[in-house]
Chains A and B, each alone.
Chain A
């Protein structure tokens, strides 16, 4: 481990901004002037990964090096292109897209410096070309790009990297190792333990074959509040701790309408004060779309909106109203998300984002309401125990996170210790989902509001 990896390097404790700046400088130095073909950056939730990608892209472009950027979803690509265009309205940026209907965000049309095409040849000569890994995989070039940035590299599968790695000479790989691992709908045990296991993450394969590559880490989460960073860091990143960029008291959440004493209102007040809230329903084994839990989630969202919330943060001195676009609901399964959406629509609420952990990755809200992945389940499968799933759900918020769950998850965890087969040659991931779930549950239980709907 090099000094660059240690947030407390240099003797005394740096202030967050200085620590983050120092890490960023080291990353850019290795990217622009290093001798290695790759640089890996681990970024915990909300540590300024996108900012880093944009900055590195602009500096590479300024140095006259043709750059391709690989992201994983079209939404991520559009987001990156918009950020690049915002930072430098002169810089020509290419958006390579598919030939489906509505292949890119219409907001790109308003940017004169963004050129869009379905063919890479049309975008030749532009300083930066951005697309998804899936689209890049179909591109053929005679001359590879001098440089690439691979965003969300931990969510990219090894086989997807294989398809695009011939397009560039060197690359900066950026991602969050604590979020959801890529998955495959068919079993890949046959290749488990191989350094190039196609269903492993791109970074795993890259580092297995190139262990000498420099690895950096962003040490400060600007998103997570001081109440959340220690828990998320301890539960999901035990060997690579990070801290929050803000302190206790820097952020406040308040409501104009006082509590009516109901469970949802009490848990909202608890979360507003402590950053965490657990709304616990009576124990019961339920189908995935547990109607009571779904209703409870919807009720919490409804009251969040009805009670006229206001958020104070380091971003502005004046309280910012807590509107629907600043709230998100996270679930484990798509049918659960659909049920919550339907329940919210029943209350006339249609503009709150409700999605699964997979789709919430990389997004940020003021308040999140989470349906616990293990709520009401009779068993704890690997899917529901997956560390990354809980990590995503517990790290999307700037102010508070409210978890809705049925009682009995701790007992469920104790009844179902991890029993996944051990594969030879596969690096064991720490922490395992069992331990992380217990750590989170333990903390949540301090902010419990029991409610019988």
Chain B
């Protein structure tokens, strides 16, 4: 935790209210996000219990699996989910704009510009918490390899038609969410804790109810009291007043309300199956419907508060102006969306079970670049974030007190003006450390030359400006800071260079196991050992 976040958290504790850690919104928020509040069944990983899903805050669609262990009902749930999610996603696939991309020409091997489609906007999925995002990933994995009856008439348990496609999209959303700064799939708790610091721990911040209580407590109540209530308060029946945001449910709810309701549903179903004539069946069907309705009510009662909380959080975030680099990062999300759309259109197989060595290395490198880029962009977009970096010695701001023209040695001397900046920050500068400032959105580099005290607690830093001054002997107007200017230099770079090109997966070297085998091959189970047979 950085010093400034520690300070913000201490202030939150002492004032009883969350403190902002950002002055702008650092993630893209869609005009029309798809909110997804899933619940899962205790004790069976990946068995959905129900969900609220939709783009209209006043009219969510309730999906329920009355008996989560029944695979047919589970498939029905997933099919319904596909009916909501896929039309939403596909609506963005058709509106495109022309864009340019650099590709390697397969014949000449040269880098050439080609014109391609780029989706004008992309879908955005918002879940309440990080666990919800993991659940999206889990759902995606459980669905994308399913076969439909159309794909494979002989498959024993065919999936409903659009379920495998939903699995591929959810997998893509889940995988993209691992890229720092991406916004295709957002966990609201992460989003809120990026912008506010509460007086509780990071783990506690994963509770959406208490996080919102710190940020926006009810009138007249302090944040910590409201957060405590959100976390612990129960009604006369022992049920939490603020149900957890899921997908896991509260055990008291499972034991006291849900389990009896599911048992009643099972009994009604068994009874219906045993009905001997039409009249009896009608009666018993009524009982089954009532039992199912009871479960639907229960699921809605536990998801609706979270649903409203998610929209509350979205409102809070929308009140912040968008950071200057956010559209730039959203464009990358649009590229990612477009690329996956193209893979599906081209009939490519679903994402493999595990990445091969080359794909994993490429993904890791891309994410590291995105993380560094995000850290730099957030600081450039937001003075409060930059203040944190300045406090950490990674940047400094101050006033230009002197500019002396100087030139590089060599046949064609270029301008290398010496700029003196007076600052009270304490940057970690070493000999010839490179520093950067943003000049019309482009980084201008300078190097540290010397430092002296100004006798007033501050420091005078002499910097030699290195580039972005044009080709002439005299620097272009506006490209060198002038006396009296306020400037802010960072010790970190503003943009990231691309990494080296890795070999193609078919060229995987011997150190990494050679080329990958058949991706569709079913892995062999572990050999039986003595411990397996007790």
Contact = CB atoms under 8 A, between A and B. Distances in A.
Interface in A122-165: 134, 137-138, 158-159, 161-163, 165
Interface stretch (B116-124, B344-352, B505-513): B505-513
A188 interface: yes
Contact of B355 (A166, A191, A206, A335): A191
A162 B372 contact: no
Contacts of A38: 511
A158 B362 CA distance: 12
Given A199-B364, A205-B511, A162 B357 contact: yes
A73 interface: no
A209 interface: yes
A162 B393 contact: no
Contact of A209 (B355, B358, B510): B510
A186 B500 contact: no
Contact of A206 (B6, B393, B511): B511
B368 A162 contact: no
B502 A188 contact: no
B509 A335 contact: no
B146 interface: no
Interface string B504-525: 0001111111100000000000
A303 interface: no
Contact of B502 (A162, A209, A335, A342): A162
A208 B514 CA distance: 12
B360 A334 contact: no
A58 B371 CA distance: 42
Contact of B509 (A165, A185, A187, A198): A165
A184 B509 CA distance: 22
Contacts of B371: 185-186
Interface in B435-462: none
Interface string B523-534: 000000000000
B365 A166 contact: no
A190 interface: yes
B178 A190 contact: yes
Given A158-B512, A196-B357, A338 B178 contact: no
A232 to B, nearest CB: 30
A196 B3 contact: no
A75 interface: no
A402 to B, nearest CB: 24
A142 to B, nearest CB: 14
Contacts, number: 95
B428 interface: yes
A197 B508 CA distance: 14
A137 B502 CA distance: 8
B511 A163 contact: no
Given A186-B368, A287-B3, A162 B511 contact: yes
Interface in B162-178: 178
Interface string A86-112: 000000000000000010000000000
Interface string B417-449: 000000000101000100000000000000000
Given A335-B392, A335-B428, A186 B367 contact: yes
Q: How large is the interface on A (under 10, 10 to 19, 20 to 34, 35 or more residues)?
A: 35 or more
Q: Which of A38, A198, A334 has the most CB of B within 10 A?
A: A198
A252 interface: no
Contacts of B358: 162
A163 B502 contact: yes
Interface residues of B, number: 36
A338 B509 contact: no
Contact of B393 (A158, A187, A208, A335): A335
B511 A198 contact: no
B180 interface: yes
A186 B180 contact: yes
A323 interface: no
B477 interface: no
B98 interface: no
Contacts of A195: 513
Interface in B342-384: 354-358, 360-361, 363-365, 367-368, 370-372
A273 B389 CA distance: 43
B108 to A, nearest CB: 16
Contacts of B513: 195-196, 208-209
B503 interface: yes
B360 to A, nearest CB: 5
B451 to A, nearest CB: 10
Contact of B507 (A166, A197, A210): A166
Nearest to B361: A159
B172 to A, nearest CB: 14
A37 B514 CA distance: 13
Q: Which of B368, B371, B503, B510 has the most CB of A within 10 A?
A: B510
Contacts of A186: 178, 180, 364, 367-368, 370-371
B83 to A, nearest CB: 30
A165 B507 contact: no
A53 B278 CA distance: 88
A194 interface: yes
A161 B511 contact: yes
Contacts of B512: 158, 161-162, 165, 196, 205, 209
Nearest to B511: A165
A95 B6 CA distance: 46
B180 A191 contact: no
Contacts of B507: 166
A194 B511 contact: no
Interface of A: 37-38, 102, 134, 137-138, 158-159, 161-163, 165-166, 184-188, 190-191, 194-199, 202, 205-206, 208-210, 287, 334-335, 338, 342
Which 4 pairs, one residue from A and one from B, show the smallest C-beta to C-beta distance? A137-B500, A165-B509, A159-B361, A196-B357
18 contacts: A137-B500, A159-B360, A159-B364, A159-B365, A161-B512, A162-B502, A162-B511, A163-B502, A184-B368, A185-B372, A186-B368, A186-B370, A186-B371, A187-B178, A196-B513, A198-B357, A210-B510, A334-B428
Given A185-B371, A187-B178, A209-B511, 14 more contacts: A137-B499, A159-B360, A162-B508, A163-B361, A165-B512, A166-B507, A186-B367, A190-B355, A191-B360, A194-B360, A196-B360, A198-B363, A198-B365, A206-B511
